[in-house]
């Protein structure tokens, strides 16, 4: 059965462009032009994915996201937010409200389609119980292995000594490789009973973590103005 995507976008040209590329890849597409119409359509047809513009007439994309996440069933629909350039604060808010990913306008159709496929694929993996957090160990690009059962990290077989906070931070990012986490999300997830963590301290921990991972520190990517994520792949640095 074809996957269905709801596109909430008030700019006709962009909506048409997104629709064209989605249909070309075999998706069923429904369009909505306002926040309210999008919210109503999401609850009625429960699409497999929602592409949600932030700047919309009536309800903006952030409010649509907030309301959907309070809805019993529609809360599980993965959301890719679409923002204009320079609206990092909105992206951060969207991710903290539970959006899964985002693209920034102007985006290439190729980038958007890659995000769509990745978001749907990760959703399916989680439904099938292949989520990394169910496993005893997670292997990241570059041969970084997180042994979640024993709280050990190895790089190409060599054990790397991490602090408890560094370990939790890496394990948290590794729960959903490729997905951006904001500093505040990292703070909430990583803060332990023993550790007070500020959003700025996240940067310090990431820097230390990268240093300990050596060349493989590149596995943690900085997303400017937003946060951090695990790289989809490590391109070998030229020797
Ligand atoms: Ca718009």
pLDDT of residue 238: 56
Residue 229 has which token pair?
Answer: 């994520």
| Cα 96 to ligand 1 centre (Å) | 20
pLDDT of residue 198: 84
pTM > 0.85: no
Dump pLDDT digits (tens) for 184-220: 999 988 887 666 688 888 999 999 999 999 999 999 9
- State the chain's mean pLDDT as an integer: 89
| Cα 129 to ligand 1 centre (Å) | 36
pLDDT of residue 31: 98
Residues with CB under 5 A from ligand 1 (ion): 10, 53, 55
Bridge partners, 5 (sequence order) = 29, 49
| Cα 35 to ligand 1 centre (Å) | 10
The domain limits of the chain are 4-127, 132-230
CB burial of 193-210 (b: ≥16 within 10 Å; e: otherwise) equals eeeebeeebbeebbebbb
**Matching CATH number, 4-127, of 3.30.420.40, 3.90.1150.10, 3.40.50.1980, 3.40.50.2300:** 3.40.50.2300
Dump pLDDT digits (tens) for 37-48: 999 999 999 999
Domain 132-230 - what CATH class? mainly alpha
Assign residue 58 a region (left: φ > 0; alpha: ψ between -120 and 50; beta: otherwise).
Answer: left
Dump pLDDT digits (tens) for 49-80: 999 999 999 999 999 999 999 998 899 999 99
pLDDT of residue 149: 82
Q: Cα-flanking dihedrals φ and ψ of residue 79, to 5°?
A: -125, 130
Give me the residue label for tokens 């520190």: 217
């Amino acid at each position: 059965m074809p996957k269905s995507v709801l596109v909430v976008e008030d700019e006709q040209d962009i909506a048409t462009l997104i629709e064209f590329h989605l249909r070309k890849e075999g998706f069923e597409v429904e369009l909505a032009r306002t926040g309210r119409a999008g919210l109503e359509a999401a609850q009625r047809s429960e699409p497999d994915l929602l592409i949600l513009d932030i700047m919309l007439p009536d309800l903006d994309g952030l409010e649509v996201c907030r309301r959907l996440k309070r809805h019993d069933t529609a809360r599980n629909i993965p959301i890719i937010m679409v923002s204009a350039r320079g609206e990092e604060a909105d992206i951060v808010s969207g991710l903290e409200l539970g959006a899964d990913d985002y693209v920034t306008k102007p985006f290439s159709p190729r980038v958007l389609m890659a995000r769509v496929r990745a978001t749907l694929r990760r959703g399916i993996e989680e439904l099938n119980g292949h989520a990394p957090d169910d496993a005893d160990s997670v292997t990241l690009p570059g041969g970084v292995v997180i042994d979640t059962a024993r709280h050990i990290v190895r790089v190409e077989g060599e054990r790397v000594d991490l602090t408890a906070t560094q370990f939790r931070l890496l394990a948290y990012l590794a729960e959903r490789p490729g997905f951006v986490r904001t500093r505040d999300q990292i703070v909430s997830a990583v803060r332990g009973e023993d550790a007070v963590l500020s959003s700025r301290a996240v940067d310090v921990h990431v820097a230390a973590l990268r240093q300990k991972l050596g060349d493989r520190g590149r596995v943690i990517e900085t997303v400017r103005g937003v946060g951090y994520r695990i790289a989809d792949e490590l391109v070998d640095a030229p020797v």
